[in-house]
Amino acid sequence: MGNKRIVATAPIEAIAIDILEQIAPVEISPNMDEETLLGMVEDTIAFVSRGMGPVTGRMIAGAGELKVIGRPGAGVDTVDVAAASERKIPVVYAPVSGFAVAEGALAILMALVKRIPQCDEILKGGRWKERYGFKTGDMAGHTLGIVGFGRIGSLLAKLVQPFEMTVLVFDPYLPCKGAGDFGVEFVEFDELLARSDYVSLHVPLNDETHGLIDRDRIASMKKSAILINLARGDVIESLDVLADALECGQLAAVGLDVFPGEPPDVSHRIFKNPHCLCAPHVLGASELAMERNFRSMATDMVAILQGRPPKFCVNPEVLA
């Protein structure tokens, strides 16, 4: 396609490059700020929004040759979908790796419930005798609240079926029917927070969910609950409200794979709290998950560039 190019906001997997370079060379932006990316819009026929790298309205307006935008995952909050739709540019995404996020949520939850970081510290610190006064927690006999029951939330419910748990679900966009298929109980949000020992967040970031978990809602939770967030950082009001809740004992532990502003400022006091277990937004980035994400996204981008319909498109109305 002549001098045309495909621009990625951050490094992408080799499988995606191999597929996309059937059409045009792939260039990786040296950083993810908008000004740098605006300098790369000329002759760009496709953008790949990787990580927190944005595809903004200004970028879309400036890229006169733009034909498609790709996102290697289910979340599209880094893409100005409205601006893309206005120019009738398809935005493809890859909702094919929810299993890895669900597994990650279960892993971080069990690590907190079983107090694995503390166990490791006690042993490696040569404090063997502390085991006689040390107790871990249980999954059995406890209640898990899942906020958001899409692909990831429903997979998490399946993963915990072997445990003797009560599973509560809140999702205002789903009917309560079919709950028996997952062994869950659909409840209102306030009831879920009040009854759950453990709460795991699996909602998209939008105007309704921004700051969904705030100081008041944390205060309404069962005392010494555990809160897990693998959705988006801004679903929680701030790190301050989490730190305060840990320090006063309202929350027993917090598990975070996402943060309001990434990378987060690790000088924040929450990162010194032993009851906060973190990961750098990688728990959904397993080897198999990333291969599936990038293959799906790149294949759909090529389909559009070759005039064929994609499998997954956020704004399919622009294809008509």
Active site residues: 232, 262, 281
Which residues, 6+ apart, have CB-to-CB distance to 227 below 8 Å?
198, 199, 201, 213, 218, 221, 242, 251, 253, 254, 255
The alpha carbon dihedral of 126, 129, 130, 132 has a sign of: positive
Structure tokens at 231: 């959705």
Q: Which amino acid is at 291?
A: E
Measured distance CA(299)–CA(312) in Å, rounded: 10
The helix (H) or strand (E) run that includes residue 198 is: strand 198-201
Q: In this structure, are residues 21 and 1 in contact, taking their beta carbons and an 8 Å threshold?
A: no
Residue 310 half-sphere exposure toward CB, CA atoms < 13 A: 29
